[in-house]
Amino acid sequence: MYIYLSVLNLLSITVVMAQLQQGGPDEKEKTTALKDLLSRIDLDELMKKDEPPLEFPDTLEGFEYMFNEKGQLRHMKTGEPFVFNYREDLHRWNQKRYEALGETLYNDAWQFLLESLWHVIQELSLPHGKIITKYVYELLQKECHLKKATLPVDATESEPKSFIFMSEDALTNPDKLLVLIHGNGVVRAGQWARRLIINEDLNSGTQIPYIKRAIEEGYGVIVLNPNENYIEVEKTKAQVQLSSDSSDEPAEKKERKDKVQKETKKRRDFYEKYRNPQKEKETMQMYIRMIQREAEVKNKVTAVALTDSVHNVWHQEVGKTIREWMRENCCNWVSSSEPLDTSVESMLPDCPRVSAGTERHELTSWKSFSSIFKFFSEALEAKNTSVKPTPTRRSNRIKYEEL
């Protein structure tokens, strides 16, 4: 635990400095001496002390892991689940090893430092697995027989592009099409939750069961990839200079702002160096073109199943027509202690909510699997035979209209 004790000692020194600054000249001299001492400490070298090189395999086999016949990630020799604390007292190395399999994202350098200390007690992470992502993409193409399609379809050679996955009949199926959209965050096409993929199995963590069931029932399939909506490119020298000189604020205010920005940049540079030692260039995000087609969506989409969605019709400025359409055509399977498909009350007038049969957010898509396909079948039957909506959906609609 050398690294963590050292960091805590630094925090103790900081507290002592704060106490000394409240005293007289002698204390201020001591404060100056402590500042000089701290300035000579290389935090980066301290945190890397005695750790092996940060070099890791780029395949599951290289890590000696594989998915078994149940779709669970297990060690090839021991059969055990993934172990985070692989090397004792080397938290940074363990974290980088885990990031090679599941890259952890944090928003703030100081938050990252605090969470690193908290890792002494327990593992806290949001995996963004590059290897897992690649593996799932391969399964979509090999097992589910989907093809990769580039977006925008009319993209020029130089503009940013993304991609989705489609079945052969996705654009020609005359009867029905299933469009799968994952949640926001770090997941990519074909995934519900990487935590489930790593710690549970492929069935609960990926969209593969939905794809196979849909194809069996005669659906065309499109797997969207909305989190892959920008690319990172290196800034030119002119762009870096422009971003720093673009402000026309008063000189005094700009000076204070620049000072804060420099301190923030210093902390973020330290954080980036910790997370990604190879990243030295300043980058910017270039977003991929997107289109909104409300009328076409409402006309062509028969039913929408949401799983523990956190959308808000008020914050997203949704109009009355869309709210009415959602009440008639959507259903949200939410995390709840109630049995599966039990109606769950809500004060938001958007769409009916029913229990997914689990209190774990990441499991809602898997636990409501059968109910969602039943919901789709009933919606198609209602559309084709002009039958009124099922009692469950209608009762919820009446409640919202009363509100």
> Do residues 394 and 331 make contact, with C-beta atoms less than 8 angstroms apart?
no
Mean pLDDT computed over every residue of the chain: 75
More confident residue, 216 or 9: 216
Q: Which of 394, 341, 337, 342 is nearest to 368 (CA)?
A: 341
More confident residue, 263 or 401: 263
- How confident is the model over 118-140, as a mean pLDDT? 65
pLDDT in tens, 249-273: 566 666 776 766 767 666 666 555 5
Tell me the pTM: 0.61
Q: 139 pLDDT exceeds 80?
A: yes
Q: How far is the C-alpha of 173 from the C-alpha of 189, rounded, in Å?
A: 21
- Ramachandran class of 50: left when φ > 0, alpha when ψ lies in -120 to 50, beta otherwise: left
Q: 117 pLDDT exceeds 60?
A: no
* Chain centre to alpha carbon of residue 330: 24
Q: 332 pLDDT exceeds 90?
A: yes
- How confident is the model over 341-368, as a mean pLDDT? 91
Structure-block tokens of residue 101: 């399999």
pLDDT at 301: 93
Q: Which residues contact 93 (CB under 8 A, 6 or more apart)?
A: 51, 52, 54, 87
> Do residues 239 and 245 make contact, with C-beta atoms less than 8 angstroms apart?
no
Q: State the pLDDT confidence band at 46, using cuts at 50, 70 and 90.
A: low
pLDDT at 398: 34
> Do residues 164 and 227 make contact, with C-beta atoms less than 8 angstroms apart?
no
